[in-house]
């Protein structure tokens, strides 16, 4: 997005539960191009829009030692995140955890909500197609216990065995070349309750994954148990673990840390995927190819400029302003208001955060600035990090980074919740 005329100018793993402490586990991830479709599209989103030269200074990038980086462009090896994405979705069970109900009942815990979530979040740019060529439970040859799967389990040997067994069981009915990613919906009675331990995990950009029909199963999300916090919202919100896991298949890192959701709060599904619905940060939408270059502003030059931002949930208008600090770090800002996937916003305004492309998944690559520190927040919604719920800045409020000579002033808003923001760089 351009300033306006005026002034001038590998995977990772997952979460945890309910409101208690969140422990992040980081599994080894590798990211490299593979042979097949499940492996990697190379034309993942951001690349084409980022080509605008005005935006280049804002395309921060990390180092080679970062497994999953916020940097641009997203490395190859992940699933495409624009256009039609075909998600092979298989339901599996075990002799010591036989499927409860029908496999399609399990499928419908996640669909159609997950595809609707992506359609809304991407403004229609991601056409997510879950496909179930096998509609019954796929019985694994070994017991669940025998795979040795526990929280934080690495790919080898348990998951490798499981993927190989899934491939063998499904192969007669499945052409693995037809899909962009794999969802494995495990019978919910296998393993512990999600309230105790969240096993759900994604192996993404995995160039060492088993091959099926000539393609590598490089991007696979496994969902266990049910993320039911007992608040009565499960049927409405329990699916949200899947868009979180699939976010990893598109190359997004975890934003929660060992301390929980205190870095980003409920402002991104990669931070909190329990409870009320939420969206992705504007940075993630740009990274995934869901924003036009014209919707992103890059305030790299000295001076002052004003920008108008419309709420992130709406498709039109300016969405994201970036203020790069180094080649690896940038400030970002966007307007968050209630609408679309953002259903828990209790204080609309301009959300300001910092992104560090050198910080790995689960270590806090993004930090939101709280305009009202130690206020306790404005939400009482369960599973929504309360303190950061009132983080957005409103008219009259100013954010400053004196060290880098950066000032952001929220100037005004209108009845359509558009905000005018002035960025000054000294
Ligand atoms: Zn995760």
pLDDT of amino acid 63: 79
Please state, in angstroms and rounded to a whole number, the distance separating the CA atoms of residues 250 and 126. Answer: 11
pLDDT of amino acid 196: 86
For residue 246, report the distance from its CA to the centre of ligand 1, in Å: 9
Of residues 269, 282, 270, the one with CA closest to residue 311: 282
For residue 25, report the distance from its CA to the centre of ligand 1, in Å: 9
For residue 408, report the distance from its CA to the centre of ligand 1, in Å: 31
Within 10 Å of residue 397's Cβ, how many Cβ atoms?
A: 15
pLDDT of amino acid 230: 82
For residue 260, report the distance from its CA to the centre of ligand 1, in Å: 12
For residue 22, report the distance from its CA to the centre of ligand 1, in Å: 11
For residue 301, report the distance from its CA to the centre of ligand 1, in Å: 35
For residue 263, report the distance from its CA to the centre of ligand 1, in Å: 15
Residue indicated by tokens 């399990």: 106
CB contact at 8 A, 378 and 341:
no
- Dihedrals phi, psi of 49, to nearest 5 degrees: -75, -25
Of residues 227, 254, 259, 228, the one with CA closest to residue 241: 227
For residue 204, report the distance from its CA to the centre of ligand 1, in Å: 11
- State whether residue 91 is helix, strand or coil: strand
Of residues 372, 346, 384, 359, the one with CA closest to residue 265: 384
Q: Which residues of the chain have pLDDT under 50?
A: 2-50
pLDDT of amino acid 342: 98
Which domains are delineated in the chain? Answer: 23-249 (3.40.390), 282-425 (no CATH)
Residue indicated by tokens 């992705």: 280
Give buried/exposed letters for 90-105 (b at 16+ CB in 10 A, else e).
Answer: bbbbbeebebeeebee
For residue 336, report the distance from its CA to the centre of ligand 1, in Å: 22
- Dihedrals phi, psi of 378, to nearest 5 degrees: -120, 5
For residue 24, report the distance from its CA to the centre of ligand 1, in Å: 8
Is the peptide bond prior to 299 cis by the omega test (within 30 degrees of 0)? no
For residue 355, report the distance from its CA to the centre of ligand 1, in Å: 17
Residues 6+ apart with CB under 8 A from 230: 195
Query: What letter would DSSP give residue 20?
Result: S
For residue 270, report the distance from its CA to the centre of ligand 1, in Å: 6
For residue 254, report the distance from its CA to the centre of ligand 1, in Å: 5
Residue indicated by tokens 């996640």: 110
pLDDT of amino acid 51: 54
Name beta bridge partners: 408.
Answer: 399, 423
pLDDT of amino acid 31: 30
CB atoms within 5 A of ion ligand 1 belong to 12, 14, 254
For residue 296, report the distance from its CA to the centre of ligand 1, in Å: 26
For residue 255, report the distance from its CA to the centre of ligand 1, in Å: 8
Which element (helix H / strand E) includes 50?
Answer: helix 46-50
Query: What letter would DSSP give residue 159?
Result: I
For residue 162, report the distance from its CA to the centre of ligand 1, in Å: 20
For residue 13, report the distance from its CA to the centre of ligand 1, in Å: 4
Q: How far is CA 63 from CA 67, 168, 307, 330, in A?
A: 9, 38, 31, 15
Helices (H) and strands (E) in the chain, counts: 8, 19
Dihedral, CA of residue 204, residue 67, residue 158 and residue 201, to nearest 10: -60
For residue 276, report the distance from its CA to the centre of ligand 1, in Å: 17
Q: Which two three-digit tokens encode residue 212?
A: 């099926």
- State whether residue 290 is helix, strand or coil: coil
For residue 198, report the distance from its CA to the centre of ligand 1, in Å: 10
For residue 80, report the distance from its CA to the centre of ligand 1, in Å: 18
Within 10 Å of residue 416's Cβ, how many Cβ atoms?
A: 10
- Residue-wise pLDDT for 240-283, tens only, equals 999 999 999 999 999 999 888 999 999 999 999 999 999 999 99
β-pairing, 406-413 with 398-401?
antiparallel
- Write the DSSP assignment of 377-417 as a string of letters: -S---TTS-SGGGG--B-TT-EEEEGGGTEEEEEEEE-TT-
For residue 265, report the distance from its CA to the centre of ligand 1, in Å: 14
- Residue-wise pLDDT for 336-382, tens only, equals 999 999 999 999 999 999 999 999 999 999 999 999 999 999 999 98
For residue 395, report the distance from its CA to the centre of ligand 1, in Å: 34
- State whether residue 57 is helix, strand or coil: helix
Please state, in angstroms and rounded to a whole number, the distance separating the CA atoms of residues 263 and 22. Answer: 12
- State whether residue 259 is helix, strand or coil: coil
């Amino acid at each position: 997005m351009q300033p306006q005329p005026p002034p001038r100018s590998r995977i990772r793993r997952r979460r945890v539960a309910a409101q208690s402490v969140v422990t992040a586990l980081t599994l080894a991830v590798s990211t490299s191009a593979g042979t097949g479709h499940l492996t990697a599209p190379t034309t993942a989103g951001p690349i084409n829009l980022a080509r605008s030269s005005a935006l280049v200074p804002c395309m921060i990038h990390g180092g080679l030692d970062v497994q999953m980086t916020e940097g641009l462009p997203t490395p190859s090896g992940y699933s495409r995140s624009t256009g039609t994405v075909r998600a092979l979705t298989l339901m599996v069970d075990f002799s010591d955890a036989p499927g409860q109900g029908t496999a399609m009942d399990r499928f419908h815990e996640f669909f159609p909500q997950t595809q609707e979530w992506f359609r809304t979040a991407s403004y229609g740019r991601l056409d997510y197609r879950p496909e179930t060529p096998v509609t019954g439970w796929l019985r694994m040859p070994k017991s669940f216990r025998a795979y040795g799967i526990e929280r934080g389990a690495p790919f080898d040997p348990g998951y490798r065995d499981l993927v190989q067994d899934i491939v063998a069981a499904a192969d007669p009915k499945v052409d693995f070349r037809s899909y962009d990613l794999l969802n494995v919906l495990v019978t919910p009675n296998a393993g512990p309750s999600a309230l105790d331990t969240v096993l759900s995990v994604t192996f993404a950009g995995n160039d060492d994954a088993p091959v099926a029909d000539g393609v590598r199963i490089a991007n696979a999300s496994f969902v266990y148990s049910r993320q039911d916090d007992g608040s009565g919202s499960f049927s409405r919100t329990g699916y949200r673990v899947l868009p979180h896991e699939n976010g990893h298949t598109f190359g997004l890192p975890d934003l929660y840390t060992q301390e929980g959701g205190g870095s980003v709060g409920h402002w991104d599904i990669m931070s909190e995927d329990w409870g009320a619905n939420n969206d992705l940060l504007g940075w993630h939408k740009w990274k995934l190819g869901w924003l036009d270059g014209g919707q992103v502003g890059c305030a790299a030059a000295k001076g002052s400029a004003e920008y108008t931002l419309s709420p992130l949930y709406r498709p039109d208008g300016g969405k994201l302003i970036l203020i790069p600090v180094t080649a690896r770090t940038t400030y970002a800002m966007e307007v968050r208001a209630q609408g679309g996937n953002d259903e828990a916003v209790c204080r609309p305004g301009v959300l300001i955060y910092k992104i560090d492309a050198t910080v790995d998944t689960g270590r806090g690559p993004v930090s939101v600035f709280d305009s009202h520190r130690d206020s306790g927040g404005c939400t009482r919604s369960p599973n929504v990090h309360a303190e950061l719920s009132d983080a957005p800045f409103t008219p009259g409020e100013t954010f400053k980074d004196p060290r880098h000579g950066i000032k952001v002033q929220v100037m005004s808003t209108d009845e359509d919740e558009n905000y005018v923001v002035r960025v000054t760089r000294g």
